[in-house]
């Protein structure tokens, strides 16, 4: 089998890259290790920057998003019982769109199927080959035999635990990592959200996030110890703790119900540099991870592949300037999002070593946000997403 771009991974990064390359007339094949059902079953975040919405529209997969996406002009911060609304629209002239990543993945999968593009699911022992040469390939096993996909380029869109970054020779990359000493316990429920906008809460019991997927489906998160276990969290225990942590008037609005998904996720900041090795390009979680506090994971993945699709299309148009600068330009945006996500996580969570002084520093930062349009604007412009580099 042969194509122009072999994409490893059918998550949001791989699927969106495939759709954008197809629009640009660049042939591509996706090789995914899990089944389509498994990929669709993942519950992830749900806040899209306008850059991401624009890329989905450019890829031709934004019809359902336009109908069902919820425009949000602001969100709230709460420290103990004090609440501050960050008015994104007034401060930046922009908004975000609430639309679950699962739905983004569903739309991208449907588009790929309708366009008749090749996606290999349930591929075993996937392996990029010859990335530092002129004839890279991706091999895998399926149906009891080996398969080989020859390509001009390989896009490693295989996430943090993928094979592409892991297969690079020692010394090819520099990595930067911070593992946070807590996790997020998340619950999805078919109950109306406590508020029309998201509420990010900080307090002595830990971080809380009240989010949503629709006017009838809520998504809640509680900061929890790293060694916490799902078995320790019945639905009743979750709702009781959420009520303790929400601001009182929001807690009074809380409608509880059976969880339809419950999970604990660790928090990590991670960057691998560079995002290119010969004819292999890394994009999305394969290259970087952010703590979910700033809702940057999906948006960074989209920005990466929006840039990579343009660079690869330029290559086939006769210019390698794009692909030669892909890594530096992608990383310039990645590091700014890493900083924002780290800052927001540090502000809103209780760390084991926060202590009394640290708690006062967090409260002082919140009080400064309450009093400063400049501070709120800095928060807002990072939250809605920095403009794509020119």
- Dihedral of CA atoms 207, 213, 218, 220 in degrees, nearest 10, equals -20
Catalytic residue chosen out of the listed positions 111, 288, 296, 349: 296
- Binding string, residues 26-45; x marks residues near ligand APR by CB under 6 A: -----xxxx----x----xx
By the rule CB under 6 A, 69 interacts with ligand APR: no
Q: Which is nearer to ligand PHB, 6 or 209 (CB)?
A: 209
Whether residue 262 lies in the annotated active site: no
- Binding string, residues 286-305; x marks residues near ligand APR by CB under 6 A: -----------xx--x----
Residues near ligand PHB, by CB under 6 A: 45-47, 198, 209, 211, 219, 292-295
Per DSSP, 196 falls in state S
In whole angstroms, how close is the CB of 309 to ligand PHB at the nearest point?
A: 26
Neighbours of 63 (CB within 10 A): 13
Residue 9 interaction partner, one of ligand PHB, ligand APR, none, beta carbon < 5-8 Å per kind: ligand APR
By the rule CB under 6 A, 163 interacts with ligand APR: yes
In whole angstroms, how close is the CB of 26 to ligand PHB at the nearest point?
A: 32
Q: Tokens 């699709």 correspond to what residue?
A: 309
Give Cα separations from 287 to 19, 163, 174 (angstroms): 20, 12, 11
Catalytic residue chosen out of the listed positions 22, 72, 288, 349: 72
Pairing of β 145-150 and β 82-87: unpaired
In whole angstroms, how close is the CB of 298 to ligand PHB at the nearest point?
A: 10
Residue 18 interaction partner, one of ligand APR, ligand PHB, none, beta carbon < 5-8 Å per kind: none
User: What DSSP element (H or E) covers 361?
Assistant: helix 355-371
- 269-308 in b/e form (b: 16+ CB < 10 A) is bbbbbbbbbebbbbbbbbbbbbbbbbbbbbbbbbbbbbbb
Whether residue 296 lies in the annotated active site: yes
Axis-axis angle for helices 321-348, 373-384 (nearest 10)? 130
Could you tell me which of 230, 232, 206, 197 has the C-alpha nearest to residue 97?
197
Whether residue 292 lies in the annotated active site: yes
Catalytic residue chosen out of the listed positions 99, 292, 315, 349: 292
- Dihedral of CA atoms 53, 218, 76, 206 in degrees, nearest 10, equals -120
Q: Which residues are annotated as catalytic?
A: 72, 200, 292, 296, 383
Contacts with ligand APR, residue ranges (CB under 6 A): 8-14, 31-34, 39, 44-45, 101, 123, 126, 157-159, 162-163, 284-285, 297-298, 301
């Amino acid at each position: 089998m042969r194509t122009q771009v072999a994409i490893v991974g059918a998550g949001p990064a791989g699927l969106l890259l495939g759709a954008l390359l197809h629009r640009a007339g660049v042939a591509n094949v996706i090789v995914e290790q899990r089944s389509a059902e498994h990929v669709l079953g993942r519950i992830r975040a749900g806040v899209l920057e306008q850059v991401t919405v624009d890329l989905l529209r450019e890829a031709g997969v934004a019809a359902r998003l336009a109908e069902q996406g919820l425009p949000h002009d602001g969100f709230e911060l709460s420290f103990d019982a004090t609440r501050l609304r960050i008015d994104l629209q007034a401060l930046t002239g922009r908004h975000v769109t609430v639309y679950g990543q699962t739905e983004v993945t569903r739309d991208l999968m449907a588009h790929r199927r309708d366009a008749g593009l090749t996606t290999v699911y349930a591929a075993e022992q996937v392996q990029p080959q010859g990335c530092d040469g002129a004839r890279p390939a991706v091999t895998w096993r399926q149906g009891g035999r080996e398969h080989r996909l020859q390509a001009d380029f390989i896009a490693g869109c295989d996430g943090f635990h993928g094979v592409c970054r892991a297969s690079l020779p020692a010394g090819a990359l520099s990595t930067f990592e911070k593992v946070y000493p807590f996790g997020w316990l998340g619950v999805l429920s078919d109950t109306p959200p406590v508020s029309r906008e998201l509420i990010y809460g900080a307090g002595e019991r830990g971080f809380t996030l009240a989010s949503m997927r629709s006017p009838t489906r809520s998504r809640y998160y509680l900061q929890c110890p790293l060694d916490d276990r799902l078995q320790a969290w019945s639905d009743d225990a979750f709702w009781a703790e959420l009520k303790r942590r929400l601001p009182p008037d929001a807690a009074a609005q809380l409608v509880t119900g059976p969880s339809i998904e419950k999970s604990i996720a660790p928090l990590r900041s991670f960057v691998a540099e560079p995002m290119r090795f010969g004819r292999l390009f890394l994009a999305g979680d394969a290259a970087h991870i952010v703590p979910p506090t700033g809702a940057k994971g999906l948006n960074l993945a989209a920005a990466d592949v929006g840039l990579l699709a343009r660079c690869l299309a330029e290559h086939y148009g006769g210019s390698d300037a794009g692909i030669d600068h892909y890594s530096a330009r992608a990383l310039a945006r990645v590091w700014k999002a890493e900083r924002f996500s780290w800052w927001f996580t540090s502000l809103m969570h209780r760390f084991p070593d926060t202590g009394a002084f640290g708690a006062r520093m967090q409260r002082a930062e919140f009080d400064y946000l309450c009093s400063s349009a400049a501070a709120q604007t800095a928060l807002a412009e990072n939250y809605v997403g920095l403009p794509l580099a020119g």
